[in-house]
A and B are shown apart, each in its own frame.
Chain A
Amino acid sequence: MNAGAGLRLRGMVRKEWLQVIRDPSSIAIAFVLPLLLLLIFGYGVSLDSKHIPIALVAEHPGPQSASFLGGFEQSPYFSPVTVPSIQEAETLLRQNRVDGIVWLRDNFDRDYLRRESPPISVLVNGVDANTGRLVEGYIQAIWFGWLEQNAELAGRELRAPVELEQRIWFNPQVRSTDFLVPGVLAVIMTLIGALLTALVITREWERGTMEALLVTRITVVELLLGKLIPYFVLGMGGLTLSLLMARFLFHVPMRGSLWLLIAASALFLLVALGMGLFISTLVRSQFVAALVALVSTFLPAFILSGFIFDIQSMPLPIQGVTHLIAARYYVSILQTLFLVGDVWSVVLPNSAALLAMAVFFLGLVWRRTRKNLE
């Protein structure tokens, strides 16, 4: 690159930078968006249910039914209401006032004393399948606790033959912020990249300033670098803010090396900016570019990155699709660097994939940007 090229590039960066500064929305994208999203995600998303409303029906209350239902009163997972009849309980379930019903029929105590194994019926609202499953698990735990207690009273010892000793590694208290914040970072960086660059080339076409640029001596590479550099700087600024929030506001542990994290983020930002620029070169109208950016960035990064939904549980063809989503690799790197440490067997292959995607998108952008009007 000769001195002229350096000068042209500097001019282009300066022009682009002025555009960034004059439209406050770019600054807002880099700094307000991460702030807002981290706050909402960091506090808002959790799958661990507590105080699930449940209806208890004992048609003929007696000592045994009371001892069984007592388990629900003490459980931190349920907030039970007692209703006299199953009809009322079903009404509550239909009105979504309770998520489940535990129903002891009127002969429960009598049959219990006669050792006839009376049924305990549990109805769970299955609409939210995940919560439904949790409710099942919690009820089973209460049920087994009651069985143990019963055996003890009968002078026998019923020890649960298998006792579960669970260890959740890397996040023993299962703090959801610890895993969400790294995931949100990936979503935020995807949005920043796409939002910043999706419109920058189409805008020049639509406003007719592209033709003005074409008649200058600027080369395609200089043009693209000039577009990339200011937004890269902005994006890294947004990243710094997000990292500071993760560390000092949400107290997410940082077990890997910070430099590795920054390097991986820079790589991912390149992919995200490259995708944005690619959208920008695909179409000549800002409206369509904005449309594509809206539908193709947030939802895939949210749903297909493994940030909330487990990728290995998806059907194989869909797992294949997730390989096209850059956020997938970044989420993997981030969760590992934050919570585990420098695990090279995770960091290296995922970074390689990001590098390949960066080269691919920027290469495509370079090939598609021609210095002519067609």
Chain B
Amino acid sequence: MIHRIIALVIKEMLALFRDKRSRMAVIVPPILQLLIFGYAATFDLEHVPLVVVNEDPGAISRDLIGRFTSSEGFALAGHLQSVEEIAPLIDSKSALMALHISRDCSASMARGESCAVQVIIDGRNSNTAMLALNYVRTIISDFNEEWAERAMGMKLPARLGIRAWFNPNLESRWFIVPGIIALLAMIVTLVVTALSVAREREAGTFDQLLVTPLRPWEVLIGKAIPGLIVGVGEASLIILVAVFWFRIPMVGELTTLYPALIIYVLSIIGVGLMISSFSTTLQQALLGAFLFIVPAVILSGFTTPIANMPAFMQKLTYLDPMRYFLIIVRRVFLEGAGLEYFWNELGAMSLIAMVTLSLATWLFRHRMY
């Protein structure tokens, strides 16, 4: 029995890696994508083009503008003479943000009154707009705090000190790159499992497989093991790149990460084999893979926190294996959390793995035509 399964595994691995193009298509894109996405996927704004309309002759407005232009987030794209010039620049995307300081700003501040500083942000991408607004708020409240302390000569009644744990500079790359590990591991595993049976169906070799002494569940195991090897192997490569290229701190233990990774990959294999047994052509398998991947990525909390979703969507996320692994991989990397924190996640993923794998077995047996 073991021999039969081993033979099938060898055959599967050969089918995947013998052809040079197929070998390249499995191994190269994930690494390449990690390298590109690792840099591209960031919520830290950098050098966002900013235009300034400063009608105030005083020193205070210069100080304030200096804080904007010296911030990493913004890059000065020009000083404008009048407010009318703002609209065309923002419309054409030459500037994302405009800062407008009115004529009597310094004067009203000297009188102890507030000066209204107008900020106009392009809301076409409201995500970026919110990020930019948050940068603006921080700059202005820092300015206010310092100014209040200095100009009013009063000692503040308390001091506010903010520290971030686990990611002291709040670099979003530290958050996103571990997420990419989960993402790419899922895609590679799904590719290997979802497409492999459909391919045999379409080529007609699946019937040949059925008349061999292999039992259905042995065929299933033979198809699952290559997925496990490729998924875990590829994920390991990606982890290496994340640690040694992107220098994401790996605080936790590999002995925490790997059991979780294996359960995660198993649950994806179950999904992949289910798609496989549903589809009779490769096109159907490809569609099935996309219909799983896209919602799974969106609902996992990869780009946006699950807590921000509407309640019924949050319930849906419990079905998503990536959701659980994402929590684990991020917390193991940055917090160094151990297995004892993850019983819920591991349990849920194991449950998903068991359900999908048994369903796949059942579908295999009942769709043998």
A residues lining the B interface (CB < 8 Å): 23, 25-26, 28-29, 32-33, 36-37, 40-41, 43-52, 64, 68, 93-96, 108, 112, 115, 117-134, 136-137, 139-141, 143-144, 147, 150-151, 156-172, 174-176, 178-179, 183, 187, 191, 195, 198-199, 203, 206, 283, 285-288, 290-296, 298-300, 302-304, 306-310, 312-315, 317-318, 321-322, 332, 335-336, 339-340, 343, 345-346
Contacts and interface: CB of A to CB of B under 8 A. Distances in A.
Contact of A126 (B128, B138, B165): B165
Nearest to A319: B40
Contacts of B60: 161
Given A45-B303, A199-B282, A95 B341 contact: yes
Contacts of B305: 47, 49, 128, 131
B255 to A, nearest CB: 19
What is the interface of chain A mostly: helix, strand, loop, or mixed? helix
A288 B165 contact: no
Interface of B: 19, 21-22, 25-26, 29-30, 33, 36-37, 39-49, 60, 64, 88, 90-93, 96, 109, 112-131, 133-134, 136-138, 140-141, 143-145, 147-148, 151-152, 154-168, 170-172, 174-175, 183, 187, 190-191, 195, 199, 202-203, 279, 281-287, 289-291, 293-295, 297-299, 303-305, 307-310, 313, 327, 330-331, 334-335, 337, 341
Given A162-B64, A295-B191, 8 more contacts: A47-B130, A96-B341, A126-B164, A127-B334, A167-B119, A174-B123, A309-B40, A335-B124
Given A44-B299, A346-B91, A304 B36 contact: yes
A134 B47 contact: no
Nearest to A296: B29
A8 B191 CA distance: 37
A2 B326 CA distance: 59
Contact of B163 (A94, A122, A291): A122
Contact of A292 (B25, B41, B162, B170): B25
B336 to A, nearest CB: 10
A161 B45 contact: no
Contact of A123 (B36, B137, B163): B163
B137 A40 contact: no
B304 A45 contact: yes
B148 A129 contact: no
A168 B129 contact: yes
A112 B293 CA distance: 55
